[in-house]
Amino acid sequence: LVIYLLENLEINGAGNLMDFLDEPFPDVGTYEDFHTIDWLREKSRDTDRHRKITSKSKESIWEFIKSLLDAWSGWLVMLLIGLLSGTLAGVIDLAVDWMTDLKEGVCLSALWYSHEQCCWTSNETTFADRDKCPQWQKWAELMTGYTEGAGVYLLNYFLYVLWALFFSFLAVSLVRVFAPYACGSGIPEIKTILSGFIIRGYLGKWTLLIKTVTLVLAVSSGLSLGKEGPLVHVACCCGNLFCSLFSKYSKNEGKRREVLSAAAAAGVSVAFGAPIGGVLFSLEEVSYYFPLKTLWRSFFAALVAAFTLRSINPFGNNRLVLFYVEYHTPWYMAELVPFILLGVFGGLWGTLFIRCNIAWCRRRKTTRLGKYPVLEVIAVTGITAVLAFPNPYTRRSTSELISELFNDCGALESSQLCDYINNPNMTRPVDDIPDRPAGPGVYSALWQLTLALVFKIVITIFTFGMKIPSGLFIPSMAVGAIAGRIVGIAVEQMAYHHHDWIIFKNWCRPGADCVTPGLYAMVGAAACLGGVTRMTVSLVVIMFELTGGLEYIVPLMAAAVTSKWVADAFGKEGIYEAHIQLNGYPYLDQDEFTHRTLATDVMRPRRNEPPLAVLTQDSTTVEDVETLIKDTDYNGFPVVVSRESERLIGFVQRRDLILNISKTHAHSATLAYDPAHLGGKFRIFVEFKICKCKNVQRSTYWLISHSFIPFLCISK
């Protein structure tokens, strides 16, 4: 039969079979929603595409130029992703600062200025009066003309809650109506997509637009959430947008995921001002397939994104880092004990948060609570605003709170945290202030920070996972920073009042600057973030890029490793893996299994059950395939040599079989054959191909499957 076909085969007149088989087959090789891609197929398709471009580049100058453009298209996509991600991040930062301050007041000289921007030109230079510039007025002062009194406080209180409710209602309404995929952090879904899963629309244009707008509204409402995780989703949406402009990426899901891995790195780069940490985050936390060329391109995308954000200068300090620290006080070996204790606290907090948050999210999914997402967001926002306003450490934005907790107390600082009793005879420089006894303001701040710690722990559990954009990095860092600052002040006062103790006298002399409470806040923030996400290397790099404190890497490493060990003792899953399992996404993590059972004890089907549904290489008819598709609901079928040997030679997807059979019926299909038998002239194809055959009997329908792909022969 093969000889007969070779003698009588006619392909498009004078054409040749290879040219015909290289023609694209419509709808084949694409994937349905909520299906997994075929990595081998995508790799083989890209290899064929590259081979074809290389061979054609020798035919003419124009084809050679096209091959160069194809080679450089990856770097061009990285450039575009970095530019757009950095621009969107800068706009989001500026908008969040302005709308967060809008809850409390307005700048009379320029309505679009935030509180800090409004007071840049103020003549008040002391820290006590820097926030009382005449250009900035609170709402009660603007409406009544009074600045003090119970009525003024209650009016400001009411307007603060009202603005918070308005922002959150607008955010959840936009998400619910226009882009349901714009809610949440996005990192669990990004991890699943990068592992090869298809979620149509999750990285679409509408999702990008709505997530950008609602992220500003959600963060500005004062909820206990951050914008760092959603910025990774935004950057990946940018990457998917630019992939559609290049057929190299739009028609190959494997290549698309290389771009998305780099986009995730750019997202972390603009979220924290940490380009190196962004690359490591993409490698350690979200990426499933990360070849060396993706590493270089991720670094380039993160670099361009960070440079773009730095050019916008949203923080107004000419720095890329978000929580830059001015001090460089050395730390001592004895301080490793409280650093490790903070790591233990971070691990316990991470375990508590994951279990409680997953339990609450599961309750939301399985009860009537999930049917009212708008009401849930409004209720949580109202509770958050009502409880946050009386405490100055919860009223301000979480980023401002972390920044204050990280900083050390200078000579001119007048906040409660810096209310120390100074020595009037002190003549040392202002940047080298010795440890001092705490004043009443410090003790008052400790009580307020303790209440803020409890508030943040509880409210974050109910906030993360609502139907609005919600990140977890900043709330987790806030919990750790508060706990770390409290521990740091306690150690500082112990060292001052008991410097003759054996644990202090070897390294802390009287009148020396021994303990830096801001460093403890940094270590606590890293510990809590590590306990929740289970990051290690990328976490440490992000933290020192975030603060500029390169000399504090060892304390950060000690806390990060300790928090991971403690958290792993209660469960190996981080918050993102837990949400992946909760949502039922098909993400295969590197789980370790310890068992003594045999494969025959757990395999399906059992020995007494019907055999597995398979296709054979040389005896399966189209009618058999149609019956198999009708009677089963599997996404694909193994291809074996025969029923007797059952040696596996490939796998064919259900959707590809359906498409090919429909084409066969449309063209009056007759006999199918395997091109691999045609004198060895044909390579292994990774797409369906239709061959037009001449002088073939119409009596029998046969389907031959070879190396993943069935080849159907259509009569001319």
Query: Average pLDDT, whole number, for the chain?
Result: 81
SS (H, E, C) 371-433: HCHHHHHHHHHHHHHHHHCCCHHHHCCHHHHHHHHHCCCCCCCCCHHHCECCCCCCCCCCCCC
Domain ends where: 265, 280, 312? 312
More confident residue, 134 or 298: 298
Whether 460 has a pLDDT exceeding 90, the answer reads yes
23-27, 207-211, 347-351: range with lowest mean pLDDT: 23-27
Whether 24 has a pLDDT exceeding 50, the answer reads no
Q: What is the mean pLDDT of residues 687-708?
A: 35
Contact residues for 540 (Cβ-Cβ < 8 A; gap 6+)? 526, 553, 556, 557, 560
What pLDDT does 411 receive? 58
Are residues 362 and 472 both part of a single domain? yes
SS (H, E, C) 463-515: HCCCCCECECHHHHHHHHHHHHHHHHHHHHHHHHHCCCCHHHHCCCCCCCCCC
Report if residue 325 sits inside a domain: no
Domain ends where: 549, 583, 617? 583
Which of 521, 511, 553, 548 lies closest to 536, judged by CA?
Answer: 553
Strands 648-653 and 636-640: antiparallel
Are residues 561 and 639 both part of a single domain? no
User: Which backbone phi and psi does 216 adopt, to 5 degrees?
Assistant: -60, -45
Are residues 467 and 343 both part of a single domain? yes
Q: How many CB atoms lie within 10 A of CB 229?
A: 29
Grade residue 591 by pLDDT with cuts at 50, 70 and 90: low
Domain ends where: 544, 566, 583? 583
> Rounded to an integer, what distance in angstroms lies between the CA atom of residue 456 and that of residue 223?
10
Torsion over CA: 331, 332, 338, 341 (sign): positive
Whether 362 has a pLDDT exceeding 80, the answer reads yes
Contact residues for 511 (Cβ-Cβ < 8 A; gap 6+)? 434
Are residues 280 and 373 both part of a single domain? no
What pLDDT does 433 receive? 62
User: pTM of the full predicted structure?
Assistant: 0.82
Question: Quick one: DSSP state of residue 36?
Answer: B
Q: Is there a contact between 287 and 261 (Cβ–Cβ < 8 Å)?
A: yes
420 pairs with which residues across the strands? 438
Which of 249, 339, 307 lies closest to 540, judged by CA?
Answer: 339
Are residues 302 and 355 both part of a single domain? no
Q: Is there a contact between 263 and 270 (Cβ–Cβ < 8 Å)?
A: no
CA 670 to each of CA 690, 701, 713: distance values in angstroms, whole numbers, following the listed order: 12, 5, 7
- 57, two tokens: 């580049």
What pLDDT does 641 receive? 85
Q: How many CB atoms lie within 10 A of CB 236?
A: 31
Report if residue 235 sits inside a domain: yes
Whether 12 has a pLDDT exceeding 90, the answer reads no
The share of the chain scoring above pLDDT 90, in percent, equals: 44
Report if residue 555 sits inside a domain: yes
Three-class SS state of 649? strand
Whether 530 has a pLDDT exceeding 60, the answer reads yes
DSSP string for 281-304 = HIIIII-S---HHHHHHHHHHHHH
What pLDDT does 157 receive? 94
SS (H, E, C) 301-314: HHHHHHHHHHHHCC
Are residues 306 and 395 both part of a single domain? no
- 498, two tokens: 């008991």
Report if residue 320 sits inside a domain: no
User: Which backbone phi and psi does 636 adopt, to 5 degrees?
Assistant: -170, 170
Which of 508, 491, 514 lies closest to 329, judged by CA?
Answer: 514
Q: What is the mean pLDDT of residues 195-212?
A: 93
- 243, two tokens: 């992939």
- 583, two tokens: 């949502």
Q: Is there a contact between 538 and 265 (Cβ–Cβ < 8 Å)?
A: no
Domain total of the chain: 3
7-21, 75-89, 98-112: range with lowest mean pLDDT: 7-21
Question: Quick one: DSSP state of residue 611?
Answer: P
What CATH number is given to the structural domain containing 393? 1.10.3080.10
640 pairs with which residues across the strands? 616, 648
Are residues 577 and 658 both part of a single domain? no
Q: What is the mean pLDDT of residues 426-431?
A: 49
Contact residues for 87 (Cβ-Cβ < 8 A; gap 6+)? 308, 312
- Residue indicated by tokens 């600082």: 413
Are residues 236 and 362 both part of a single domain? no
251-260, 548-557, 665-674, 676-685: range with lowest mean pLDDT: 676-685
What pLDDT does 668 receive? 46
User: Which backbone phi and psi does 123 adopt, to 5 degrees?
Assistant: -80, -10
317-331, 388-402, 543-557: range with lowest mean pLDDT: 317-331
More confident residue, 693 or 297: 297
What pLDDT does 610 receive? 73
Which of 460, 469, 472, 463 lies closest to 175, judged by CA?
Answer: 469
Report if residue 503 sits inside a domain: yes
416-420, 644-648, 673-677: range with lowest mean pLDDT: 673-677
Report if residue 516 sits inside a domain: yes
Are residues 365 and 484 both part of a single domain? yes
> Rounded to an integer, what distance in angstroms lies between the CA atom of residue 290 and that of residue 262?
9
Residue ranges of E strands in 539-646: 615-616, 620-621, 636-640
Helix (H) or strand (E) holding 83: helix 61-102
Question: Quick one: DSSP state of residue 104?
Answer: T
Grade residue 88 by pLDDT with cuts at 50, 70 and 90: very high
Report if residue 693 sits inside a domain: yes
28-37, 66-75, 688-697: range with lowest mean pLDDT: 688-697
Report if residue 532 sits inside a domain: yes
- 468, two tokens: 């609005």
Q: Is there a contact between 250 and 244 (Cβ–Cβ < 8 Å)?
A: yes
Q: Is there a contact between 194 and 260 (Cβ–Cβ < 8 Å)?
A: yes
Range of the domain at 297: 75-102+165-312
Q: What is the mean pLDDT of residues 36-59?
A: 87
Q: Amino acid identity, residue 438?
A: A
- Residue indicated by tokens 């001592």: 332
pLDDT in tens, 568-581: 999 888 999 999 99
Residue ranges of E strands in 38-182: 105-107, 136-138
What pLDDT does 678 receive? 34
Which of 541, 544, 578 lies closest to 265, judged by CA?
Answer: 541
The percent helix, strand, coil of the chain (3-state, each to 5) is 60, 5, 35
Are residues 177 and 248 both part of a single domain? yes
Are residues 386 and 472 both part of a single domain? yes
Are residues 376 and 473 both part of a single domain? yes
